[in-house]
Structures are given as C-alpha cells and as structure tokens.
Amino acid sequence: MTLAEKIGQLTLVNVGPGVLPGDLRAAVRAGKAGAVLDVVDVATVNELQRIAAHDSRLGIPLLVGRDVIHGFKTVLPIPLGQAAAWNPELVQQGARMAALEAAASGVNWTFAPMIDIARDPRWGRIAESFGEDPHLAAVLGVAAIRGFQGDGLSLPGAIAACAKHFVGYGASEGGRDYGYVGIPEVDLRNVYMPPFRAAADAGVATFMAAFSDVNGVPASGNRFLTRTVLRDEWRFPGFVVSDWDSIVDMVPAPVANDKARSPLSPGMEMVSTTYRDHLPGLLAAKRVDPRLLDDAVRNVLRVKMQLGLFERPVTDPAVYPGVASAANLALARELATQSLVLLQNRNGVLPLASKRLHSLAVIGPLADDAYEQLGTWAPDGDPALSRTPLQAIRETVGARVTVQHVRAMSTTRTMTTAGFSEAVAAASGSDAAVVFLGEESILSGESRSRASIDLPGNQMDLLRAVKRAGKPVIVVILAGRPLTIEPILADADAVLYAWHPGVMAGPAIADILFGVESPSGKLPVTFPRVVGQVPLYYAHRNMGKPASQASFLHIDDIAARTPQTGLKNASQYLDAGYAPLYEFGYGLSYTSYAYSGISVEPSRARAGLPITVRAVVKNVGQVAGDEVAQLYVRDLVGSVTRPVRELKGFQRIHLAGRKPGGFVSIVD
C-alpha cells in the first residue's frame, strides 16, 4: 500500500453538506476514503462500494457507518428507556432487528452501543446511555453488541458494533456536553471502564474515543487509555475511531499547538482531515512511528475482512426481511411496554379498569405527537409509522368510553395559557384525565444539556389547572432524562414515566393504563428531588458522617440563632436532605411479590470463588406480572472504600397471578 492508501483506510468521510458526491467518488476511486458515514441510500452505497471494490487500485471495500442507536426504521425506546426494561434478551433482539433493517440499506457499521455511565441528568446524552450502573450497562451493552454483530460478523445482516465513548464522557463537568472529565483511576477502573471491558471481551469490533479531556489528556490522544488499557491490558484487536472532529478539537484544548499533531491514538479519524494533511510530513520528520500507522491500517482491514466485505461488497436488499414489519413493530411494542416505570399510584387509580369509566380527557403536548415520541436518535425513523397514545387509547376503549383530546400547549416549552380552559373543561366533563407531559425530543441528546431539569414551559401550571377539575389525574411523562418531578406529585394521582418510547409508544402506554399489562420497568438511574443534589447515585460511598433521618433537620425547622454546635454534622443538604426522590431500581407494579428462602453458598466468601445466591420469588397479588429480581452486594471491609451497594445480578421473571386471566379491564 502507498502511504496515501494507508491514510485512506484511516479516513472516515461524512456525506453531507460540503462533501460533493463527485468528490467522494473520486476519493474512493483513489483509495483516499476507507469509510463513509451517513449514507443510507442503498443505491448510493452500492455505487460507492463498486467503485471501491472494482475501480480502486487495491479493491478494498468501504465501511459504511451510521448511528443506529435505538432502532433504524422501527424506532425503539431510547437506550435509557431500554435500560428501564432490565431485559438483555429484548435489548439483543432490538439490536438484531435494527441491524437487519440498517444492513438492508448497505450500512455495515453502527456507532453503538453507547455504554457511558451517566450519573448526571443535566447531561443530554443520558438519554443515549443505559444509565448509572456499571453492571447494568455492561450486561445491556454486551446484549446490544451480540444483537448487532449476530452469530458472526461475516454472516449477512451482521453489522460491526462500536463501544463508545471511551471513556468517561458521562462525567462531563456540570453535565455540560464536551466538558472536562476528572475521574480518579479507582473510579475509572471500577465505574467507567467495566462496560467497555465487557464489550471488548464480548468481541466488539470497534471502539470510539470520547470527545472528553480525561484527567488532562483528551481521550483522542490519550495513550494510557487507547494503548496501555485497551491494547496492552485488554488485548483489543479491533480499531478505534475518533469522534467527530475530536482530533482537531485537541488544538483548542490545547495539547496540540497546531493541526500537525496526530498521535494516531484513535486508528481512524472521523470527519476532520488531520491524518491526510499532516501524517506524511510527520512520518518524514520521524515524529510518528510508521509501525503505528501499519498497525492502525491492519486493524481496520481485519474488521473489513471479518465482515466479509471483500466477498460481498454490494448489498442486495432483497435478502433482508422487510423494514418496519409487523414482527418488528411487535418487538418495539414489547420493549416499550417493559420500559415504562410506574412511579406513583395513589389509591390504585391505575389501571383504569373500572366498568364505570365512561369518559376520559386526554390532555397535553405529548399525547398525540408522532414525532416527539421517537426520541433523540431517530434519523431514519418515520413518524408516519408511530402510533400515538391518543390513537391507542381510542382504539383500546372503542365506543364504550368517550375520549376528549386537548393538546393545550403547542410544545412542552409553550408559556401561554390559552389552551388551559379547554383542558380544564375536558377534565371536568370526564371521569378521569390522562395528562401527557415531558420534554420534546430536541431537549435531550448530544449537546442538549439543561441546567434546570424541571418540566419546561407552563406544564406545571397546566397540570395544576387540570387537577382543580377534581377528577383523578394520571400523568404520563415522555422525556430523555430524569426530570425533577417532585412538584407534580401532589397533583398527580398516578405517574407513569415513559422516557421516549419510540414508534409504539401509544399501544405500550395504553396497555399499562388499562391493565392489559402490569407495569414492570425499573429505574436505571436515580431521580433527584432537586437538581442541586446532582450527581446523586445509589452506589455512593459511605462518607465519614453518613446522613440519616435522625441527623436531618430541614432548613425551615432550624430555630433562629441555633449555635453551630446545635446541628448534627452529616453528608446532606439543609434544604434537600440526602435521599433521592426515587432510587435506582425502583418501579411499582399492579401486583406484589414476596421473597423468601434466600440462601448464599458458600456462606463465607472466598477470593476467586463464585457465590451463588438463591431466592424464591412469589407473586402474592391478584394479577400476572414481571418482577425484576435485583442482587446487590456490599463489601464491608476492603483496602479501598466500596459503595454502599453494588448491583451484581438481576433477572426479569414472569409470574402468573391468582387470577389466571389477568385483569378484568374495560377492554375485556
């Protein structure tokens, strides 16, 4: 290979404004582009692949990358919602389905799964994560990788996965995207790296370097991360791609004083052209070791070979099952149903199973919005495929229940109250009101950090107004992150947290509302009471002066001129206490479960030997449901401090209820 051809293999070109297809064709023909991203039209992909395979000197096919983050045409719940289902089998099936849909367009590489640990709901990309826990993220990340890569990369329909963003991106200071990341090695190793280690062990084909400056050295030029850990310790054989422009982003950092610094830390460069522009000079000046270049090229070629691209560079869409098929929509519905978390249910207001329910008000900006329910990463999704909550509620109840719909606010950020009186009238004239609140999809995702994570716009006021109608109020929240919802709890008899559930949001939500299914989602992330508590996560260390009910006196209850010695010193906030609103792992059901017969074998742990924990879980309620059994451990004494609890295992189990037929719901 010539030097230009080697650099070509490390060049990932975006197809978008500024990149003329003509230029791209020429670049591919000259072997100067080894990979493209964001081309999803199969005819164009095939044309480029034919040029690469047949018209370029070496005949090396292209990697065709795309962000297939939560579905392709069939949009699944956002990853944070998928995590709330605590169901690795479904996550794997979802990734398999997405891989097949994407592969039919010629995509052979996805920039997923994102397995960043996310403990700050201000960070918009929490939506793309599997939440705050290393074990949950590792298990679900591996499931997604298995789904994308199938039974072998060379089999049709397998696409290369990418473990991203290596590493620590979720710890961006202040939850500001692209912010500085300071993580001591003990936490890098115990919290942020485990999902990536699991991904490497599971055979993920590629890694992506984080945008972040990690402990003073940007991940895109961080030898400790991409060489010492990834190659030397973990023996990762695939290649590492930079993030979008993250190599030139080191100039303002500034660890590179000009663009002529390419440490070849990531093996492939996304979008920016530092390698192309500067590597020849750096090699000539002996400032870059040519063996690094050869290694990087070898790693890329190996993945292309594993994918079978040399044998099958061109995609025949006819060999793939149809996109957005009935089976795919059914899978999207199941995953969405399992992702819904019931947070509050006063007086058993849900399910709406009473035969006396004759009328229902369906209110709010997200009740009937086919676009917003899709969530942050749905570039290939089609809102026309969406089934909205309003549609599904109408279909479910049929003519038996009169449904009045009032949007009341044009977006979640609207500040006018013009639609409120109509909403209140609808609630007054109905037996109950279901209010769909939350965040539009544009408010979470990349570069969508928020300093306040309250419900935006006038939504609180809308809810208060509806509540004054005096009817039971059920709030369904669609959002890309945990929101600070404590203020709504007084006015909401029930709260169902739906994340952005994707194309089948409607049927999934309707099934829970009317008791066709029992809610089974559990929080993959802690919900703070106020944003100032962030970061707040269950697996915190035990501080020297842990807080407790006994230690806490609220700011309003402190007498004037209380001496400094008059309060207990503890790790807490005077105005927000120490506890979250809802803990990681929390979620209600329409039934209840009892645990008994818990056994631990061997009863004394010995280093290096597995411990088996068994329990009998019984459904002691009336109706069938899924329980997510969660196993936590605590290391009581160690050479370093350990969290107060750590998730080490979980299992979703279906348990029949006493009534074999499930609910007597209004749809029976």
Q: How far apart are the first and last CA of the chain?
A: 69
Residue number with CB closer to ligand NOJ (240 or 424): 240
Geometric angle at alpha carbon 193, from 602 and 77, rounded to 5°: 95
CB atoms within 10 A of CB 661: 10
E strand spans, 468-607: 473-478, 494-497, 593-601
Residue number with CB closer to ligand NOJ (207 or 499): 207
Residue number with CB closer to ligand NOJ (78 or 397): 78
Q: 428, 472 in Cβ contact below 8 A?
A: no
Residue number with CB closer to ligand NOJ (204 or 477): 204
Give the Cα separation of 530 and 377 in Å (integer).
27
Q: Which residue is nearest to ligand NOJ (CB)?
A: 111
CA-nearest of 146, 97, 90, 138 to 114 is 138
Residue number with CB closer to ligand NOJ (243 or 493): 243
Our CA dihedral for 171, 176, 181, 184, rounded to 10 degrees, sits at -40
CB of 249 to ligand NOJ, least distance (A): 11
Our CA dihedral for 305, 310, 311, 317, rounded to 10 degrees, sits at 100
Residue number with CB closer to ligand NOJ (180 or 244): 244
Residue 668 is among the residues annotated as catalytic for this protein: no
CB of 464 to ligand NOJ, least distance (A): 38
Give the Cα separation of 126 and 181 in Å (integer).
15
DSSP letter for each residue of 75-97? BPPPHHHHHHTT-HHHHHHHHHH
CB of 446 to ligand NOJ, least distance (A): 6
- Beta-carbon contacts of 177 under 8 Å, excluding residues fewer than 6 positions away, are 123, 124, 125, 446, 447, 448, 449
CA-nearest of 18, 56, 64 to 39 is 64
**By the criterion CB under 6 A, which residues form the site for ligand NOJ?**
67, 111, 164, 243-244, 446
CB of 189 to ligand NOJ, least distance (A): 23
CB of 357 to ligand NOJ, least distance (A): 45
> What are φ and ψ of residue 429, in 5° steps?
-85, 10
CB of 67 to ligand NOJ, least distance (A): 5
Residue number with CB closer to ligand NOJ (124 or 643): 124
- Beta-carbon contacts of 67 under 8 Å, excluding residues fewer than 6 positions away, are 110, 111, 112, 377, 379
Active-site choice (120, 243, 249, 380): 243
CB of 441 to ligand NOJ, least distance (A): 16
Q: 480, 306 in Cβ contact below 8 A?
A: no
Q: Show which residues are catalytic.
A: 243
